[in-house]
Amino acid sequence: MNNFLFNYFAKKIKERSIGERIFNIYAHEDTLFLNLKNNLAILFKLNSPTALFFGNYKLEKTQNNFAVSLHKKISGLRIIEVDFVGLERVLTLHLLDKRLDIEHHYYLIFEITGRNGNLLLCDNAQKIIEVFRLNQKRQIIPGKIYKKPPQMLDVTLSDINTLKNAIKKENILGIDSFTKNFINEENLENFIETIKKPSDRLFCYTYNKKKFVYPFLLNFGLDTSAIEENELFEQFFKQNTNINSNNTKIINFLDKKIKKLSEKIEKIQSDIKKAEDAQTFKLYADTLLENISKLKYINADIIYLKPLEKPNELAIPINPQKTIQDNINHYYKLYKKYKNAKSKLENVLKNAIKEQKFLLKIKENLLSGHIDPNYIKTILPHNNAQKIVPLDNIPYEHFNVLGFDVYIGKNAKGNDLILKNASKDDIWMHTKSIPGPHLIIKNPQRLQQLDKTLLEKCAQKIRENLGTNDKIEVDYTFVKFVKKPKGFKKGRVTYSNFKTVVVG
């Protein structure tokens, strides 16, 4: 979703939701619904293509742990303010929890940075309580203070001379992959005047066989048509449902694992603290034993006794419901249990933290699209496995070229894996007549002819992986023309109906 569309729906949310209560929160795959009265809802799609939406829309409810947790924390709260600045894709709902004379304030923050979105709940001091997507670099982690993404130049806010000087050098909010093809220093002021008076309608522009939607009418000489909000809703929220469903199931599985590990880590840390107190447990037991004849009738929870060879009295917690001998036995058992446990517990804790970090990294990569969901099972640790496979061992690399998802194998196993997970209309590439990595260009639109620049950039990637400065020929064809006969070794295939691109 471009900055203008985000701003378009942010204004609708501000106009219609202030003063309203959030009745409930649920999810459909990776889309969260915040339901208000009159069947209106704020919709936020967290994974690419991200989108902020507002209106009377419904989708089938699916299981989502994040939505459940958020529902428990903020359902019933009232929206008292809505903030957003210029074309920045960050929107903040100010929430009020008022019970009798006690008030608590919260911030629910929607943000789109790059291809993916994030949703955060913060307290009155901007401390993060709940977050959908962890971000170590920006410290978007529970317990940390929230900081907005770095501020950028904005065509609706920045000085015109500053914008003209920066138009060819810097990223500017409002000049995106579409508008940059038509905006220059000469027509920049006219463009700004147009966008500052947005229409209450949406318009779809067709450029290079792709469609772009904006809330204003631009004179770019392109094929232009009006588009209704419900059509846009269909495009954003009802496509790629199977993929999103697969991702959601994996994320829910990861969330359960991560939660169990958090509970395990907390318990181990508590046990380590007890292990550090092992000598104290022995001192309690010895002191009670030394004074057992004086302690026949005890009604207090704490007694004060002076141990032998110690100058001061010791406060000893006891259970008055049990005999002194039972209390002595209890402390000796704790001492025996924990006296040699510290080093073992520290090793278990280290492994648990390592596994938790691994799963958090898997989740982060899955949400950002840097890892194929079909490969998750091969790198998740099994219940009986001791060794965690690092992400560096994933046998393929994923990157983006001119808006296309591209996968390249690191080895024979990776070559087979990316081919197995490819669709028949995707493009397969390989060096002609010499060993080398296989490369897949995802082609969800089933284009029959890809841009030459795209093919050359992908071929160049293969050349870089080979580590050669020589000119190379790279064959390419549709995946449906690539075959792996039975009995062929890993990474070996046959192919037909191919063309060749030369780079170097």
Which has the closest alpha carbon to 152: 141, 138, 168, 166? 166
How much of the chain is helix, strand and coil, in % rounded to 5?
Answer: 35, 25, 40
The pLDDT of residue 502 is: 93
Q: Measured between alpha carbons, how far is 209 from 426 in angstroms, rounded to an integer?
A: 18
Which run of H or E residues covers position 332? helix 324-338
Q: Measured between alpha carbons, how far is 480 from 495 in angstroms, rounded to an integer?
A: 9
Dump strand ranges (E) for 259-347.
Answer: 302-305, 314-317
The fold of 3-151 is ibrinogen binding protein from staphylococcus aureus fold (2.30.310)
Domain boundaries, the chain: 3-151, 160-237, 244-393, 395-503
Q: By the 8 A CB rule, do 25 and 70 touch?
A: yes
Q: By the 8 A CB rule, do 307 and 287 touch?
A: yes
Which has the closest alpha carbon to 201: 222, 223, 228? 228
Q: By the 8 A CB rule, do 289 and 283 touch?
A: no
The pLDDT of residue 158 is: 87
Would the pTM of this model clear 0.85, i.e. be above it?
A: no
The pLDDT of residue 386 is: 40
User: What does DSSP assign to residue 372?
Assistant: -
What parts of the chain have a pLDDT lower than 50? 240-243, 383-391
Q: By the 8 A CB rule, do 95 and 105 touch?
A: yes
* CA 428, chain centre distance (Å): 29
Joined tokens for residue 12: 């609708």
